[in-house]
Amino acid sequence: MNKLQLIRHIKEKGSFLCVGLDTDISKIPKHLQSHPDAIFEFNKAIIDATKDHCVSYKINTAFYEAEGLKGWEAMEKTLHYIPSTHFKIADAKRGDIGNTSAQYAKTFFETLPFDAVTVAPYMGEDSVRPFLEYEDKFAIVLGLTSNKGANDFELKKIDEDYLYEKVLSTVASWGTPDNLMFVVGATQATELLNVRNIIPDHFLLVPGVGFQGGSLEEVSKYGMNKDCGLLVNVSRAIIYASEHENFTAEAKEIALQYQVEMREYLK
């Protein structure tokens, strides 16, 4: 899916919601835990319940890799079940020397039909470049994250700039808004104006709304650009909205609430 298609889906649906499928088998409803294909059955139910209210799904690969081959198979089945109308993100945070990154890019863009993959930029341009060589695919580079550890490096100053500012401006020069996005945590909403000064046209993947306490209103106010330019990810607040057998009704209702609020901000 290219950028123009993503923008069209956002405008048509009145939503920039990304549902995070961070599926922990120990947290899904108990009646599903004994199912022979529990992870996929849960994900399938969540997708069916939320697909009308979101434009994207983000699969955090760690939750699937932790289950070995069975988890990887559940991830593949989940990916293929997601409708073609939805932007598919592999939250894998890859990034290594060039020939290794080339294999990671092949994994998530050829072997698996994801539209985007999250990438760590610490090793520099040659570690990111292989992800940028695919047409209509995106590298989503870590910029300013929500975790407490962001203070260890991202918010340290080098000369007059924060490290994250140097990362944004430098990485933006390696590609274009058609193949690059950036992760900016919702709990860093006060920095979004500054982020937009550096990268006005790129899409931002924004985690941290929901259980982590980020404000959708603030993210929209400070981070939205003329194309919307936001994919706000909500994981636990939607997929674990209920532990009961009717968990899909709760997930659908929460996703709908986000869509209704987002539609107002898109006007």
Give the pLDDT of residue 168.
97
179: containing domain? 3-266
pLDDT tens by residue, 187-209 = 888 889 999 999 999 999 999 88
Q: Is the pLDDT of residue 210 over 80?
A: no
Give the pLDDT of residue 212.
74
Determine phi and psi for 111, rounding to 5 degrees.
-65, -40
Crossing angle (nearest 10°) for helices 68-81 and 38-50: 20
The CATH number for 7's domain is 3.20.20.70
Q: Is the pLDDT of residue 123 over 90?
A: yes
Q: Are 66 and 24 in contact (CB under 8 A)?
A: no
Q: Are strands 157-158 and 161-162 parallel, antiparallel or unpaired?
A: antiparallel
Point out the catalytic residue in the list 30, 93, 137, 252: 93
Residue 31 CB neighbours (<10 A): 12
- Residue 80 token pair: 């293929």
Give the pLDDT of residue 205.
98
70-103 as b/e: b if 16+ CB within 10 A? ebeebbbebbeebeeebbbbbbbbbbbeeeebbe
Q: What is the domain count for the chain? A: 1
pTM of the complete model: 0.96
Q: Is the pLDDT of residue 68 over 80?
A: yes
Per cent of the chain over pLDDT 90 is 89
92-95 — which CB contacts under 8 Å span 24+ positions?
A: 92/61, 92/117, 92/118, 93/118, 93/119, 93/120, 93/142, 94/118, 94/119, 94/120, 94/131, 95/119, 95/120, 95/121, 95/122, 95/123, 95/127, 95/128
The reply to whether 77 belongs to the active site is no
pLDDT band per the 50, 70, 90 thresholds, residue 252:
very high
Give the pLDDT of residue 89.
98
Q: Are 57 and 19 in contact (CB under 8 A)?
A: yes
SS3 237: helix
Give the pLDDT of residue 103.
98
Q: Is the pLDDT of residue 256 over 80?
A: yes
Q: CA 61, CA 92: separation in Å to the nearest integer? A: 6
- Residue 145 token pair: 């994250």
Give the pLDDT of residue 188.
80
pLDDT tens by residue, 131-157 = 999 999 999 999 999 888 999 999 999
Q: CA 181, CA 186: separation in Å to the nearest integer? A: 15
Q: Is the pLDDT of residue 28 over 90?
A: yes
pLDDT tens by residue, 76-85 = 999 999 999 9
Which one-letter amino acid corresponds to residue 18?
A: C
Length, in residues, of the chain: 267
C-alpha atoms less than 13 angstroms from C-alpha of 246 in its C-beta half-sphere: 3
pLDDT band per the 50, 70, 90 thresholds, residue 46:
very high
> 229 burial class (0-12, 13-18, 19+ CB within 10 angstroms)?
buried
C-alpha closest to that of 132 among 145, 116, 114, 143: 116
- Output the CA torsion sign for 121, 192, 89, 26: positive
Q: What is the mean pLDDT of the chain?
A: 95
